[in-house]
Structure 1
């Protein structure tokens, strides 16, 4: 494989940025386009697991992430009322890694976007791919601003509702609603809260994750029959009702909810694109290929890993098509595990499965994800 692949990354989320950074580590500076002219990020906080921290270390981002994040070596499991069920240790994957924790989404975006630009990536915002054609030697791309370019490799990293997926595979499945919605609220972190906590209700689960020295986020997965739209005005009232009956720190956050509370809601949707994930020189990574729900806190982590693995496989292969094939083969089982187990855990919550059964399924998946990528 030529060492200087002219590469286009479509999408500036964590997967696209990880790809740009990983390729730069191999001496390949890429072009990156993102449809959002402000390159902003939505959401409160994000859980970062051991495997994700391992990937950040490989990208030389661990020190910056560690400075901004909040880490712990345990997680507490509680009844809905707030009574402790058990505390589970979360040992680090390696001696030079933290165990797990959380970080504010905008902070992580700033860390990764700053590095993406620092490694020389040509970032263009408010622009994406309008169309492309490819031949044996390259890909001709027409952008939405009327400009064009020719590339050796095109990487679609534009998220769960990927336009690149639609261009590449017009008949591909779209993410499907799983029956649940996820609520997140950014809140002040009490000084005594030293680890994440999960509270098991009859058909829903809520929890808190510290994500900085003074902030945490509350999350709640709950059944949302009919997949209703949730507007900003009624959202807080709906969330108060959903969290009724929860005790502990969940009750504290619930009782403090008001018109100015920073919250977001999204329906939980999932999709695992059958292989192949590429046609010729153009392929998909991250949520564009394997969109998941947050039950294993691994969606963003998978996307970061994808960037690392894609760079390695492309440089090891004797052609771009072979690199895409090797990438998909290497990532398939891990992606399948995350998507299918996450959806299963969500259904267990809806079905009111005992918390011990949910914890067993969760633990088995976490152990598998600790294996090398």
Structure 2
């Protein structure tokens, strides 16, 4: 089967990484091509002969013009149609659909779906469209698509399949398109080692988005932890996000409780998990955070705010501890009580290892293969 995977990029970020890695796994069974449209970064080392950037540069005039047009659309119709502003990217994608005679297009992320699903289906009715939703429903239908919710729904309706990451999200997508499946994101990391739980380090892995990832909450929690414990942050982001995070630390991390180690991958990322005794998530919203799944495989006890992704991965508290979003005092108290109880840490470690089996790469890849064969 000839398959295209469209993603905003194949750079940093859980959704981008898992899209690249899934595609590379599918290469053993299908003819797969990768189409980023925002950034050219090939972080996951996709073979060059299968990597085709379909984005186009925008000069200042075009950016200003598009902003004005969107504003007028919203003024007169209450929303705008995003695909209007990606005509060149769509034409570039069509070139590859025809040249490579593609049979299936996997649109990774809400944005890819809203930009291309409806237009692709109109032009190529027999092309099978899979909309792969990495974002939580509340986030997707909230701030992300608030100015183009109808266009988002139209893209979902014409999709031959919707793949989402949690059963909570599936209930919403089912009301739009009954052809919706839950498939977890697989982990592609060397996780042969289980943490010994003897380091006074809490690991935190993130994209450096202060608002979404709750980095402001993280600093507050860290300040309330026992003096001999630190939070080690592995993170990546755009230059302006990095500067904003460093500024936050300079202003708020008065006890120097946070150690920022920058972007990590491969063995360095594995050691980041292995050399810690607990994993923490302070995000305000998550679809199915890859970093929590990675932490499970290293046997890390997990404490997370109860965003939808955390609830799904941790089985509503069966496999990890959930705290109300934004309650930094409860989060700090929960962590403090846990790290001071060796037996509890060991108990939660075993629960993490049990839960990790549900995210085994082989199991997830087979679910995708079954989905593709059923189209």
- TM-score bracket for this pair, using the shorter chain length: 0.3 to 0.5
Higher RCO, 1 vs 2 (CA within 8 Å, ≥6 residues apart): 1
More strand by share: 1
Q: TM-score, normalised by structure 1?
A: 0.36
